[in-house]
Structure 1
Amino acid sequence: MLKMYDSLSGELKTIDESKVRIYTCGPTVYNYIHIGNARPLILSDLIVRFLEFKDIKYKYLLNITDIDDKIIDKAIAEGVSEIDIAKKYSEAFLKDLEDLNIKLPTKVIPISSKLLEIIDFIEVLIDKKHAYEVDGNVYFDISSLANKYGELSKQKKEELNIGARVEEDKNKKNPDDFVLWKKTDKGKKWLAKWSYGRPGWHTECALLIDNFFTKTLDIHIGGIDLKFPHHENERIQYIAKNNKEVAWVWAHNGHLSINNEKMSKSLGNTILVKDFIKKYGANVLRFMYLNSNYRQPLNINQQTIDQAIDWNTKVLNLLKTANWKIAINEITLNNETPIDDNFDSYKYITKFKEFMNNNLNTPMIITLLDEMAKNINKQFKNKVLDRTLDKFNAILSTLGFKYELPKIDKKTQAKLKEWLESVANKDFENADNLRDVLKEGGII
């Protein structure tokens, strides 16, 4: 059974695998996503792929925030409509998911499609005395659930001091209350009984979870930077409406930094996903995330990038070698028994499941893959392959790695055989020429 660390309780919790309900906070579509945004998405993809590997059913919801002041500001700056901005960057986001080899969730919902539901949700909170309206704005009254607010971020109400960090709003009963509905005359707005306005950011996730799932979430995923105030405010609204917890497990991934500095526009060190993939490839980013525990902070620098490149190169070369050796019958396939008792190849999948079930211990799985690679290379020398290669590929796929291997036609097979014959006959000039041709074609 899958066990994951819950940020709320501080404990490892066992996930009920009868049918797993997952929610991940998606992007605000006013720009391209950066590699920090990709970390919770890759975490979600890892969980989904593992559930599929174990043949466990799931429902996975991802939101897209396509109503936001940042979208309005971008539209004004570019002289286009908010709809155009949201459409452009929503499509770019979905393209990034594809390029990252991330499986599409069960449902991706843009919040603009749920405005009537949001308004109804807010009305319920007002009716239950958890929210109030002043001059067309609606606020959540955190004093209505003072014993609950702050539990997720481990902060006491008197220590929050939110009002000192935000623009003063005299409409609030308490400085720590937050907006559910914002009265505005700027940008796109909708008519509610209180005013023309827009929903607050914290409300959309609470509404979508309440609207899409009939039961409490099993896993709520997001970056540690969202724990407060976003997840805290999202959680309190859901509890206020339903009198129960949002999620069994709150899974927060660690901070990302670049060369020991927080990634930010002001520092000019923001790396967009599309730019990273173009330069290094999606497998490199995925390795960097999986080579450390998802909860740990991660510092990306040229050394970690080079390590990821080297690892992926070794894996790809191994798969290429297996591909061409099998194609020309250089290797005999033996799927019945392990070739070498020292490697216990039949236990690899068992170990993989154990590591994954233990709070997604992917660094140990990387080590396991390295052990399997050594076994496969040894089998190359013996010219017999057992099922280790199949299991190696199955684990890579479940981790979300994707390697493109060339198809080897008869003409290429002939070149491979000629190359090997030239080496055996010590015709090194011809062997080198053929090797260069095969390497250029991505065969070896």
Structure 2
Amino acid sequence: MKLYDSLTTKLKEIDVPKVCIYACGPTVYDYIHIGNARPLILTDLIIRYLEHREIKYKYLLNITDIDDKIINKSQEGNVSEEDYATKYTNAFLEDLDNLNIKSPTAIIPISSKINEILSFIDSLIKKDFAYEADGNVYFDISKWESKYGMLSKQNLDHLNNGERIEVDENKRNPQDFILWKKTTTGKKWLSKWSLGRPGWHTECALLIDDFFKAPIDIHVGGIDLKFPHHENERIQYMAKNSREISNVWLHNGHLSIDNVKMSKSLNNTIKVKDYVKDYGSNSLRYIFLNSNYKQPLNITQEAIDQSIEWVSKVETLLKTINWSTTIGEFILTNQTPIDDDFNSYKYVTKFRAILKNDLNTPMAITLVDEMCKNINKQMKTKMIDLTYSKLKYILDILGFKFDIKKLTIEEIEKVRQWKEFISNKDFESADKLREELKQENII
């Protein structure tokens, strides 16, 4: 598989017997929004592709359950930080399930790794890449000036003090960032430096170091995290281990709502739970997959309507084949799909090549459309070849989930009765029964 690496800005080949993947999870102070879902669905696609190719993988997702936002929100609600974080962690896991996202190999809340973080920070101090000041510990950027900024293409000279960087008199350099924060508010842990809690940028570097014990193959995340989070994460890992943290940095593009960048500060986010409730998870997945993952994506009502129409088209096709073959109206054959010149379509081979080329999902959607047209053409002959089973297979790898029922004897009889009403031109009875079948998710 070739993937675009944000660090080198080149396509890189991933060809290892076991693929190690890390994705940045949420800070659990609120429900996740659809922007948070984009890298998760991107990673899910990679996992599904690897499973399809029978390639082993380890996939780690973190949970940030220590954060100032969690402290502030929990205090506002007069609940403990643990209870507050648990509530939104559970909500996040429910969103993953509703989005039909496969479970990672591990999901680790950072609060369970405090001892490991302390050891990680201590090793950076001993290597003279970090320093303590008034109970806080900072990473010393001056020791890594030649490497820092490479991922985000930032020049240290252009980072204005106080503009992108938090001003802190304890820092030796304005760009230095905190690894351990001395604090008197919220949950804190005892370290040799102070009572405090870890800095956000350290947790991902530590988790990768601790869980994989070696550099990973793919690091997934939104482009908004490239600087400063991923930049600071990368430099810490390099300082401790003298090697790159990841072979490929896979960054997805920004999300906008009606041409305005989606942001909690602008109050224009759409929560995943609300989107799924209103439009379904297949709709959101289609919107993401119908665009190149690297590109910014504008969510409009027109785009949502288009996605709903596409999902409905595919679902209706699958249901029609399902009930039609069940009552014997259509026959499924084991014939290989061929064109007019008797050449095999080789849909799965094409699909595999499409995903191998930097996850070209818009082309994959086009292939699905082509397959649907082929099946619709076959429906006129009432003989359906293996295009149907290959279509279901490809839809599953793409992560779409359609509720196609295995019909009971009673339901089969109801479908037969509906077709009989139509045959007898009893359209009033047919329409009434059709509505029942639609309500029962049969047609």
Which category describes the TM-score, using the shorter chain as reference length? over 0.9
Deviation at 1:221, TM superposition (A): 0.3
Which deviations, in whole Å up to 9, do the C-alpha atoms of 1:157-204 show, x marking residues without a partner? 111225433442111110110000011111110011011111100000
Which deviations, in whole Å up to 9, do the C-alpha atoms of 1:394-433 show, x marking residues without a partner? 1111011001122312222223223323333333333333
Q: Are 2:317 and 1:318 aligned?
A: yes
- Equivalent AA in structure 1 for residue 268 of structure 2: N
Q: Contact (CA 8 Å) 1:335, 1:387: kept in 2 or not? A: yes
Percent sequence identity is: 64
Which deviations, in whole Å up to 9, do the C-alpha atoms of 1:64-102 show, x marking residues without a partner? 000111110011111111111111111111011001100
Q: Contact (CA 8 Å) 2:337, 2:346: kept in 1 or not? A: no
Relative to 1, partners in 2 of residues 1:343 and 1:15: Cα closer, same or farther, differing over 3 Å? farther
- Equivalent AA in structure 1 for residue 293 of structure 2: Y
Q: State the distance in 2 between where 1:343 and 1:403 align.
A: 31
Q: State the distance in 2 between where 1:320 and 1:345 align.
A: 26
Counterpart for residue 362 of structure 2:
363
Q: TM-score, normalised by structure 1?
A: 0.97
Counterpart for residue 60 of structure 2:
61
SS at match of 2:21: strand
Q: Are 2:199 and 1:204 aligned?
A: no
Counterpart for residue 257 of structure 1:
256
Q: Contact (CA 8 Å) 1:16, 1:218: kept in 2 or not? A: no
Which deviations, in whole Å up to 9, do the C-alpha atoms of 1:220-252 show, x marking residues without a partner? 000000000000000000000000000000000
Q: Contact (CA 8 Å) 2:336, 2:387: kept in 1 or not? A: no
Q: Contact (CA 8 Å) 1:291, 1:363: kept in 2 or not? A: yes
Q: Contact (CA 8 Å) 1:191, 1:197: kept in 2 or not? A: yes
SS at match of 1:164: coil
When structure 1 is superposed on structure 2, of 330-339 and 91-100 the one drifting more is: 330-339
Unaligned runs of 5+ in 1: none
Q: State the distance in 1 between where 2:3 and 2:416 align.
A: 50
- Equivalent AA in structure 2 for residue 5 of structure 1: Y
- Equivalent AA in structure 2 for residue 351 of structure 1: K
Residues 88-237 of structure 1: matches in 2 within 5 Å? Answer: 88-237=87-236
Relative to 1, partners in 2 of residues 1:229 and 1:282: Cα closer, same or farther, differing over 3 Å? same
Which deviations, in whole Å up to 9, do the C-alpha atoms of 1:358-401 show, x marking residues without a partner? 00000000000000001111111111111111110011110110
Q: Contact (CA 8 Å) 2:39, 2:221: kept in 1 or not? A: yes
SS at match of 1:382: coil
Q: Contact (CA 8 Å) 1:339, 1:379: kept in 2 or not? A: no
Unaligned runs of 5+ in 2: none
Relative to 1, partners in 2 of residues 1:272 and 1:162: Cα closer, same or farther, differing over 3 Å? farther
Q: Contact (CA 8 Å) 1:258, 1:300: kept in 2 or not? A: yes
Q: Contact (CA 8 Å) 2:181, 2:198: kept in 1 or not? A: yes
Q: State the distance in 2 between where 1:121 and 1:104 align.
A: 28
Deviation at 1:330, TM superposition (A): 1.1
Residues 295-334 of structure 1: matches in 2 within 5 Å? Answer: 295-334=294-333
- Equivalent AA in structure 2 for residue 315 of structure 1: V
Counterpart for residue 389 of structure 1:
388
Q: State the distance in 1 between where 2:97 and 2:139 align.
A: 38
Deviation at 1:339, TM superposition (A): 6.1
Deviation at 1:268, TM superposition (A): 2.5
Deviation at 1:344, TM superposition (A): 5.4
Q: Are 2:351 and 1:352 aligned?
A: yes
Counterpart for residue 439 of structure 1:
438
Deviation at 1:128, TM superposition (A): 0.6
Counterpart for residue 31 of structure 2:
32
Relative to 1, partners in 2 of residues 1:203 and 1:342: Cα closer, same or farther, differing over 3 Å? farther
Q: Are 2:240 and 1:241 aligned?
A: yes
Q: TM-score, normalised by structure 2?
A: 0.97
Q: Contact (CA 8 Å) 1:345, 1:387: kept in 2 or not? A: no
Deviation at 1:340, TM superposition (A): 4.9
Deviation at 1:439, TM superposition (A): 2.5
SS at match of 1:236: helix
Relative to 1, partners in 2 of residues 1:9 and 1:344: Cα closer, same or farther, differing over 3 Å? same
Q: Contact (CA 8 Å) 1:343, 1:375: kept in 2 or not? A: no
Q: Contact (CA 8 Å) 1:339, 1:386: kept in 2 or not? A: no
Q: Contact (CA 8 Å) 2:238, 2:244: kept in 1 or not? A: yes
Q: Contact (CA 8 Å) 2:63, 2:109: kept in 1 or not? A: yes
Which deviations, in whole Å up to 9, do the C-alpha atoms of 1:137-176 show, x marking residues without a partner? 1000011011000000111211122543344211111011
SS at match of 1:36: helix
Counterpart for residue 371 of structure 2:
372
Q: Contact (CA 8 Å) 1:210, 1:238: kept in 2 or not? A: yes
- Equivalent AA in structure 2 for residue 317 of structure 1: T
- Equivalent AA in structure 2 for residue 187 of structure 1: G
Counterpart for residue 412 of structure 1:
411
Q: State the distance in 2 between where 1:344 and 1:75 align.
A: 63
Residues 265-284 of structure 1: matches in 2 within 5 Å? Answer: 265-284=264-283
Q: State the distance in 1 between where 2:342 and 2:405 align.
A: 29
- Equivalent AA in structure 2 for residue 172 of structure 1: K
Q: Contact (CA 8 Å) 2:33, 2:269: kept in 1 or not? A: yes
Relative to 1, partners in 2 of residues 1:261 and 1:279: Cα closer, same or farther, differing over 3 Å? same
Counterpart for residue 18 of structure 1:
17
- Equivalent AA in structure 1 for residue 121 of structure 2: I
Q: Contact (CA 8 Å) 2:70, 2:85: kept in 1 or not? A: yes
